[in-house]
DNA sequence: GAGTGGTCTAGACCACAGA
DNA sequence: CTGTGGTCTAGACCACTCG
């Protein structure tokens, strides 16, 4: 028996997956071409392509039209503990902004974050949460692109009400010790509670392009909202990250 | 221009998606057959199937060999606030076990949960977390299958160390007021902290079958760990839920 | 222009469900 | 048995990259 009835494309995918896991093809290197594999295995082009698509869905490889199919540069999961980065100890030792850097270094890779700061008209959902107008450039946006070994692994856009943040250090590249959280607190908008909503969806064309992933590879959409004691949202962040690259973690006390 | 270069299968998928969203096909009803659509549109079978597969990946429809393709019975997202169900207020009013029921009713559907209780050899990962042997029937398992309007929407298996839970009310169908959390506390194993790790992966064949989803539809794997003040894990739960059906939510205090 | 992955076709056959 | 979705083929053509 031994499940001999599995489709050919699936067995080929299993075979290739195992070879990749065993390191037969180096990270970032090219896989054999589809037509080549087809000839070697005696399968049709479409059948082999079915196997390749399965691996692509799993995030193991990515294909580039006109170039070839390549082993993903990152095969491990990046760990994101959303709660621990807000622990007082982390903030006081200046680690709050370094959570991403620390995790990437732990995996033996080189982290890099690039930031663009601008004043924008907020997306409707963000405007509604922050209770600002969506028709004016009413928010400050810190748009971060986070990479590991040169591979983009997360997009994170933070939105602050302009009435609070325009002209403050939050609009500078370096937000200083404790980051925007501490700056907002100094400005009289201390956050006491964070909420994160997690969804999985397909990326938009723009997101897929920035993340260098195919449009059918699912991503986490994490909507992060920081609120003051009065319940007012003063920071909203939207994180976009391929599900194949991340493990999310939350820890909270009972009572 | 107007993006006329989109592949045919994609345009067909867009067309069908819009019709489904507009309610042209009732929830649970059958879509036109692939060969029928192929003839109507003048496309080849494989091309139409590409469009159907895309919709299936999105969770909008599901296909059954030999039967047809059907609109998913649930097109909305179910909201799971992992933190709020542990608030003292929820527990004291007896709502802690009803979080799922309440949410499903809020969506106008009928919730149902079936439970099987057994003594098992734990999976390696669970054994390691609970610090029990993985070679003996060392854990109590409460395996819950949760449905909405007859559709299975989540599998949740809770594991308790047998040394603590065997022979207690946790082994009964009704765990009593406050649920297993309160029973463990009474037994001297009060949990003070919860950690949940979130991953997205393809379901195993068994999971896919129990959830009535294709094996390539991604699911959340939520690993829930409850710990005592001493840091000892006393409850581990593994939740499996299709990503297309759920929005996860976490709220926690700063400091 | 040569070489890559992506789309599409027409048709054969397989696996499964149900009358 | 018929009808459904799923697999597979051989080959044509398209879209993109790079020398």
pLDDT in tens, A21-35: 898 998 888 899 999
Q: In the structure, how far is the CA atom of residue A7 from the C1' atom of nucleotide C14, in angstroms?
A: 10
Pairwise CA distance, residues A239 & A203, whole Å: 12
With a cut of 90, say whether residue B116 has pLDDT above it.
Answer: yes
The confidence score (pLDDT) of residue B88 equals 63
With a cut of 90, say whether residue B26 has pLDDT above it.
Answer: no
Pairwise CA distance, residues A148 & B247, whole Å: 28
Q: The pTM is what? A: 0.90
The answer to whether some atom of strand C lies closer than 7 Å to the beta carbon of A15 is no
**Residue at the smallest CA–C1' distance to nucleotide C6:** A65
Quick check: helix, strand or coil at residue B199?
A: strand
Do A196 and B249 count as a contact with CB atoms less than 8 A apart? yes
Please name the member of A82, A181, A255 whose beta carbon is closest to the beta carbon of B88: A255
Provide, as residue numbers in chain A, all residues whose Cβ is less than 8 Å from the Cβ of B83: 250, 252
The pair of structure tokens assigned to B165 is: 């839970």
The values of phi and psi at residue B175, to 5°, are: -85, 0
Provide, as residue numbers in chain A, all residues whose Cβ is less than 8 Å from the Cβ of B194: 251-254
- Quickly state the pLDDT bin for A93 (edges 50, 70, 90): low
Pairwise CA distance, residues A38 & A52, whole Å: 11
The answer to whether some atom of strand C lies closer than 7 Å to the beta carbon of B53 is no
A vs B: CB pairs below 8 A: 98
What is the percent of chain A where pLDDT is above 90? Answer: 69
- Quickly state the pLDDT bin for A81 (edges 50, 70, 90): very high
Closest B-chain CA to A55: B216
Closest nucleotide (C1' vs CA) to A48 is: D8
- Quickly state the pLDDT bin for A152 (edges 50, 70, 90): very high
Provide, as residue numbers in chain A, all residues whose Cβ is less than 8 Å from the Cβ of B215: none
The confidence score (pLDDT) of residue B3 equals 44
**Which residues, other chains included, contact B121 with Cβ-Cβ below 8 Å and sequence gap of 6+?**
B134, B135, B136, B137, B138, B139
Pairwise CA distance, residues A112 & A142, whole Å: 15
A200-209 long-range contacts (CB < 8 A, ≥24 apart) are A200/A243, A200/B200, A200/B218, A200/B220, A200/B243, A200/B244, A202/B58, A203/A240, A207/A155, A207/A240
Closest B-chain CA to A191: B254
**pLDDT, mean of residues A94-108:** 80
The answer to whether some atom of strand C lies closer than 7 Å to the beta carbon of A10 is no
- Quickly state the pLDDT bin for B89 (edges 50, 70, 90): low
The answer to whether some atom of strand C lies closer than 7 Å to the beta carbon of B8 is yes
Closest-CA distance, A45 to chain B, in angstroms, reads 14
Pairwise CA distance, residues A44 & A38, whole Å: 6
Please name the member of B57, B192, B218 whose beta carbon is closest to the beta carbon of A254: B192
The confidence score (pLDDT) of residue A1 equals 40
Closest-CA distance, A239 to chain B, in angstroms, reads 14
Who wins on pLDDT, A5 or B33? B33
Please name the member of A58, A202, A251 whose beta carbon is closest to the beta carbon of B195: A251
Burial of A255: CB neighbours in 10 Å, binned 0-12, 13-18, 19+: exposed
The confidence score (pLDDT) of residue A4 equals 46
pLDDT averaged over every residue in chain B: 90
Do B249 and A198 count as a contact with CB atoms less than 8 A apart? yes
């Amino acid at each position: 028996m031994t499940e001999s009835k599995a489709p050919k494309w699936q067995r080929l995918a299993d075979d290739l997956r195992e070879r990749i896991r065993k390191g037969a093809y180096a990270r970032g290197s090219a896989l054999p071409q589809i037509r080549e594999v087809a000839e070697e295995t005696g399968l049709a082009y479409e059948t082999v392509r079915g196997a390749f698509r399965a691996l692509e869905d799993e995030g193991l490889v990515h294909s580039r039209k006109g170039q070839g199919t390549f082993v993903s540069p990152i095969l491990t999961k990046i760990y994101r503990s959303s709660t621990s980065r807000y622990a007082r100890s982390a903030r006081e030792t200046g680690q709050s902004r370094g959570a991403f850097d620390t995790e990437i270094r732990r995996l033996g890779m080189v982290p890099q974050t690039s930031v663009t700061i601008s004043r924008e008209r907020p997306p409707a959902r963000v405007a509604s949460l922050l209770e600002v107008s969506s028709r004016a450039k009413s928010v400050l946006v810190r748009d971060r692109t986070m990479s590991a070994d040169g591979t983009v692994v997360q997009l994170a856009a933070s939105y602050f009400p302009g009435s609070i943040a325009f002209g403050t250090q939050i609009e500078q590249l370096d937000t200083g010790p404790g980051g925007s959280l501490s700056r907002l607190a100094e400005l009289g908008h201390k956050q006491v509670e964070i909420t994160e909503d997690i969804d999985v969806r397909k990326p938009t064309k723009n997101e897929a392009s920035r993340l260098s992933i195919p449009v059918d590879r699912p991503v986490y959409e994490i909507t992060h909202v920081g609120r003051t004691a009065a319940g007012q949202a003063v920071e909203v962040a939207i994180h976009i990250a391929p599900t194949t690259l991340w493990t999310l973690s939350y820890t909270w006390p009972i009572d």
